[in-house]
Every structure is written in structure tokens, then in C-alpha cells.
């Protein structure tokens, strides 16, 4: 409370003799609000909270708070998901790799057997890619309107139908 005494001497117009809030009334209000929100809190929960708030923080408490903040700040890894671009890149790499093996393999039948096995193994990913492409195409179709060309009235003169001038030269 030494700082309060200093402030009272420096700026007495800003200092008052405030002793604190009526914790009993605040606790009752908080209990009522918690029940309205469907929480199961009692008056003792708030009393304990306020009492703990009055104690000075020790170094261990500060270290624990700092560790909690670090844990909260840790970014959870973004969940894996397929994108059309990445899947197309992966299939291009696989195709390049298989063509390299095809060029090295003297036995064409053996390579075609391996190629078939690879295609069967990749079939689920091909299905996912096709679904994604259809979804994007459907979204694009939904985004654009089909506008029919308006017919021009017959009174409009076509450039191709222009007649030569009959005026004398």
C-alpha cells in the first residue's frame, strides 16, 4: 500500500478512500448469472477465486502461467487435405518416375504389370481428384449465368446489307 500513500500526497484530487466492492453482492450476482447460463457454480467458487486473487504471485506461479501461455500459443498443425493443384503435381511426379523406370526396364511386360499395379494402387486418389474437379466445375457453373443473345430488331440496318450510293459523281 506504499504506492497509494505516495499517490495520495502527489495527486490527492485523484485519490479516494475506496475500500473495495461488496463481494457478497457480487458473488450472488455471479451465481445467478452462472445458473442462467447453465453453469454449475456456487458462491464458494467465486469466494475462492477472489481470495486467490489477493495473494501476491510467486515466481513458481509466474513460471506456471508462462508455461500455460506457451502451450496455448502453440499452433496446432493444419489438418491434411487434398487440393487439386497438389494432387495434379503428385500425379505428374509419379508419371515422370514411372516413365524413367519404363526407359530403364528391358522387359516391357514386367513394366506394364508394375504400371497396372501402380494405377490400381492410386485409383482411390484418382477418384478423389475427379470428385474435386467436378465440385469445382459445379461451383463455376453455378457462379456464372447463361445469358442468351438478344435478337436485333428488323429495322436495324446490317453493315453487310448496305446498298451502293445512287448519287451522281
Q: Is there a single domain that holds both residue 93 and residue 140? A: yes
* Residue 101 resides in a domain: yes
- Residue-wise pLDDT tens digits, 15-31: 776 666 777 788 888 88
Provide the domain count of the chain. 2
Q: Is there a single domain that holds both residue 141 and residue 95? A: yes
pLDDT band at 128 (very low <50, low <70, confident <90, very high): very high
pLDDT band at 102 (very low <50, low <70, confident <90, very high): very high
**Cell representation of residue 104:** 530403364
Query: Which residue range forms the structural domain that includes residue 41?
Result: 1-57
pTM for the structure as a whole: 0.39
Q: Is there a single domain that holds both residue 52 and residue 91? A: no
* Residue 161 resides in a domain: no
pLDDT at 86 over 80: yes
* Residue 68 resides in a domain: no
* Residue 157 resides in a domain: no
Q: Is there a single domain that holds both residue 131 and residue 92? A: yes
Task: Answer with the residue of higher pLDDT: 40 or 155.
Answer: 40
* Residue 165 resides in a domain: no
* Residue 17 resides in a domain: yes
Amino acid at each position: 500500500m506504499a504506492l497509494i500513500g505516495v499517490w495520495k500526497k502527489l495527486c490527492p484530487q485523484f485519490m479516494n478512500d475506496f475500500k473495495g466492492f461488496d463481494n457478497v453482492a457480487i458473488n450472488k450476482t455471479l451465481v445467478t448469472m452462472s445458473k442462467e447460463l447453465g453453469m454449475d457454480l456456487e458462491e464458494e467458487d467465486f469466494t475462492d477465486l477472489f481470495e486467490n486473487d489477493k495473494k501476491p504471485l510467486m515466481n513458481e506461479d509466474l513460471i506456471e502461467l508462462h508455461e500455460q501461455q506457451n502451450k496455448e500459443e502453440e499452433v496446432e498443425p493444419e489438418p491434411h487435405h487434398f487440393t487439386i493443384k497438389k494432387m495434379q503435381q503428385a500425379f505428374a511426379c509419379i508419371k515422370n518416375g514411372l516413365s524413367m523406370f519404363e526407359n530403364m526396364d528391358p522387359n516391357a511386360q514386367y513394366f506394364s504389370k508394375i504400371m497396372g499395379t501402380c494405377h490400381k494402387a492410386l485409383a482411390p486418389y484418382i477418384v478423389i481428384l475427379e470428385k474435386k474437379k467436378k465440385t469445382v466445375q459445379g461451383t463455376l457453373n453455378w457462379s456464372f449465368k447463361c445469358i442468351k443473345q438478344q435478337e436485333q430488331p428488323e429495322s436495324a440496318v446490317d453493315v453487310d446489307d448496305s446498298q451502293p450510293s445512287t448519287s451522281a459523281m
